[in-house]
A and B are shown apart, each in its own frame.
Chain A
């Protein structure tokens, strides 16, 4: 999933301070799972904002809605008939949803309600961690199913570097060395000899480096 975290309330207040009619829009997908921008978090944010404006003695209309998704036209369209009642939207979807909302409603200011962090997993309740950076050319087959692009701080293809200590990365004792994991996996799979195969220089043009990306599937286009 796309993992996001809640923005500090002060930041959101700054975003909406100048407005009187605010629509908070949650998303029922990833940000609900990672408890940053679902229905529950929309309600919490709404309460916090109401309290803030009440303390300021300012009358502000704050409404809440949570869409099934904010990365598809059909769900964003559900706002079409009501969005004009507001003068700002705070989207608690990931950055994808915020932008798609802004593209669709060109005259409506759309503010981000979360900080979008990474593509990752729920390690345990309340702990999410990164697994993928969407580099566009998956090489997990060569690295025992552990990704050095997203999990090695230096994204080394032929690691580990000299800073790997007791299974931890040099940047932080709480970060696991990806190459320790890769080597452990290779051992478990009885493929440690694969370690010595040199991984060639990567083509980064399918990653951010190649500019904004697009996947076009003519076979599924209508």
Chain B
């Protein structure tokens, strides 16, 4: 596929390589080292790094500033942006701010509801939704215009991504929903963490039936469990997460001190199986506060070394 932006991630995907991304959560404070240290652990093993945007509605150092820190390290950030906290003025303004630092990737998200975080008494915004944010970035990039209709001097050049959760309900609209995001202009997708591989493969089959895998790059999301407790928590407490019983059982079936390794093994096996899934264009490894394990996961999955981005 021909590239439309200077994004390294886009180039790697367009060249037909399986791309690898990971993510870093910004700190609850202003020490930039919290970001640069995490990024340093994974930089040689991934093509681009997502920076989460006040994930789970807990107030943190902002995504944009964190992306700039990555940019200053010579790395490729993916700016996550939620519509929960910003109206269309702030969204467009932050997109331009990111573009001014030549941040070339954006992930358009709704954002977890604020009640999950440290500001449950706060307002939310939701001026536009994630689907409309995709449209907004594409409009700014491709038409060079603000939503209000005026021209943008030096429009943003961003590769536009979004999330997809194959496991949320109702399942029957999960493929139509992806089609809708593609119609809105999304170019790459990072999925929710995959533990139910059968269901994921069924979703991919439905996507292929409609040719959606040829219209956007679908990156499969994986998260290694650190412990059996984490597997149970994700199964029972995280909305929209599908952790099958046999996975929880497998984690619980090994002694505590070996559970972390078991979690990594499951993660690697998931990647290996999904490498064979037609339409999967890469992997998004979300090792939550466990960035140091990303290199091992990537290497054992046969995704290392990372390719050079070529025009």
A-to-B contact residues, CB < 8 Å: 153-167, 170-171, 177, 180, 183, 192, 195-196, 198-202, 204
Which B residues touch A201, using CB under 8 A?
88, 128, 132, 135-136, 147
User: In chain B, residues 167-213, which have Cβ atoms closer than 8 Å to a Cβ of chain A?
Assistant: 168-170, 172-173, 176, 179-180, 183-184, 192
Inter-chain CA distance A157–B135, complex, in Å, is 13
Q: With A162-B168, A164-B170, A180-B170 as given contacts, are A198 and B129 in contact (CB-CB < 8 Å)?
A: no
Inter-chain CA distance A202–B170, complex, in Å, is 25
B224-239 interface code vs A (CB 8 A; 1 in, 0 out): 0000000000000001
A–B Cβ pairs within 8 angstroms, 17 of them: A154-B113, A154-B126, A160-B170, A160-B173, A162-B168, A162-B192, A164-B239, A164-B240, A170-B113, A170-B116, A183-B172, A192-B173, A195-B180, A196-B180, A201-B88, A201-B128, A202-B128
Which A residues touch B179, using CB under 8 A?
196
Q: Which of B128, B168, B170 contacts A161 (CB 8 A)?
A: B168
A165 engages B183 (CB within 8 Å): no
A187 CB, min distance to chain B CBs, angstroms:
8
A198 engages B169 (CB within 8 Å): no
Inter-chain CA distance A165–B84, complex, in Å, is 20
Query: What's the count of A-B pairs with C-beta under 8 Å?
Result: 94
B-to-A contact residues, CB < 8 Å: 84, 88, 110-113, 115-116, 124, 126-132, 135-136, 147, 163-165, 168-170, 172-173, 176, 179-180, 183-184, 192, 239-240
Which B residues touch A180, using CB under 8 A?
169-170
Q: Which of A159, A171, A177 contacts B115 (CB 8 A)?
A: A171
Inter-chain CA distance A180–B163, complex, in Å, is 19
B129 engages A159 (CB within 8 Å): yes
B110 engages A161 (CB within 8 Å): yes
A183 CB, min distance to chain B CBs, angstroms:
6
B117 CB, min distance to chain A CBs, angstroms:
12
Inter-chain CA distance A160–B176, complex, in Å, is 12
Which A residues touch B165, using CB under 8 A?
162
Closest to B111 in A: A154
